[in-house]
């Protein structure tokens, strides 16, 4: 441990000794954890208590592609203690331009295994459960029920509506992201609270099939930006910091770098959440 690290550790511990409660929490984190997360613990919005919440949190990530890669990596780096990731694909050469959890030697490997290795290298402290399968039906229900938060990093409408339906049913917060060409969008849904709309209030399930990256193209960094915002919104929700994008749709035009925020209203006749 360097002299700087030692000094930092003392500072983090000093601030942590302010209250008995925090002192109890500090004893459950070892010195390495206090150092690893020191830049977050320094933030009053996070503090040791928030870091403890992150370490205890269970995040479900659906998709280990362009959005799932950066989202999973930042959640792992931030110390989300339990990450479960689902994806059915294997790593292909054409993925590497944007799906940054995977490296060239991973071509041919299951994306969830490649992601799991990346996350464990980044942070061996956390539990990463990798499951190679399309998340549907009863498994989807039980995973959403078990999760504190769900990140939809998928690329098709059927999965998005199914995830939304399960999140509404079990009142699990959902961070939804999408990226295509030079464009991206993010929204947060907290079913059952804040009069939150759901994904189905925003998009009708009988609408057009979602455009995807394989047919439309996508520029590398846009998936990184959107995936990172999803990770940040998830962290904010877990530690109750700031104002998450509940009831809002954040839109980015990467070509002009213009951001817009649209207000979303709960649809009283929404087939998924209307009666709830
Ligand atoms: Zn709805």
pLDDT for 191 equals 95
pLDDT at residue 20 in the model: 47
> pLDDT at residue 25 above 90?
no
Answer whether residue 141 shows pLDDT above 50: yes
CB 86 within 8 A of CB 117: no
pLDDT of residue 5: 73
**pLDDT band at 209, cuts 50/70/90?**
low
Residues with CB under 5 A from ligand 1 (ion): 198, 200-201, 270, 272-273
pLDDT of residue 213: 66
pLDDT per residue as tens digits for the range 80-96: 999 999 999 999 999 99
Q: At residue 115, does pLDDT exceed 90?
A: yes
Calculate mean pLDDT across residues 222-241.
Answer: 98
For range 190-203, the mean pLDDT: 92
Distance in Å, CA 177 to ligand 1 centroid: 17
Kindly tell me if the per-residue pLDDT of 160 is higher than 70: yes
Is 273 marked active-site?
no
Question: Which residue ranges form the domains of the chain, and what is each CATH number?
Answer: 1-48 (no CATH), 57-263 (3.40.50.720)
Contact 233, 240 (CB under 8 A): no
Question: How high is the pLDDT of residue 205?
Answer: 76
Q: What percent of the chain has pLDDT over 70?
A: 88
| 231 pLDDT higher than 50 | yes
Of 213, 228, 270, 273, catalytic: 213
Cβ contacts of 56 within 8 Å, gap of 6 or more: 81, 82
């Amino acid at each position: 441990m360097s002299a700087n690290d030692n000094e930092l550790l003392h500072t983090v511990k000093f601030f942590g000794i302010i209250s008995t409660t925090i002192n109890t929490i500090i004893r459950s984190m070892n010195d390495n954890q206090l150092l690893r997360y020191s830049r977050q613990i320094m933030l009053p919005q996070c503090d040791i208590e928030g870091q403890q919440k992150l370490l205890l949190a269970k995040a479900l990530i659906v998709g280990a592609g362009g959005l799932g890669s950066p989202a999973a990596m930042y959640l792992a780096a931030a110390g989300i203690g339990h990450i479960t990731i689902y994806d059915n694909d294997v790593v292909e050469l054409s993925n590497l331009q944007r799906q940054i959890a995977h490296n060239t030697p991973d071509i041919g490997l299951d994306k969830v295994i490649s992601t799991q290795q990346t996350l464990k290298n980044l942070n061996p402290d956390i539990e990463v459960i990798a499951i190679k399968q399309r998340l549907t039906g009863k498994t989807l229900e039980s995973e959403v029920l078990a999760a504190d938060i769900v990140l939809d990093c998928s690329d098709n409408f059927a999965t998005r509506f199914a995830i939304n339906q399960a999140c509404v049913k079990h009142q699990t917060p959902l961070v939804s992201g999408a990226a295509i060409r030079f464009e991206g969008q993010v929204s947060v849904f907290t079913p059952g609270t804040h009069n939150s709309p759901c994904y189905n209030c925003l998009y009708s399930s009988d609408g057009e099939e979602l455009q995807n990256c394989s047919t439309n193209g996508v520029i590398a960094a846009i998936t990184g930006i959107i995936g990172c915002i999803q990770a940040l919104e998830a962290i904010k929700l877990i530690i109750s910091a700031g104002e998450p994008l509940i009831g809002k749709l954040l839109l980015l035009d990467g070509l002009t770098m213009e951001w817009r925020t649209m207000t979303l209203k709960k649809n009283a006749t929404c087939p998924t959440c209307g009666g709830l």
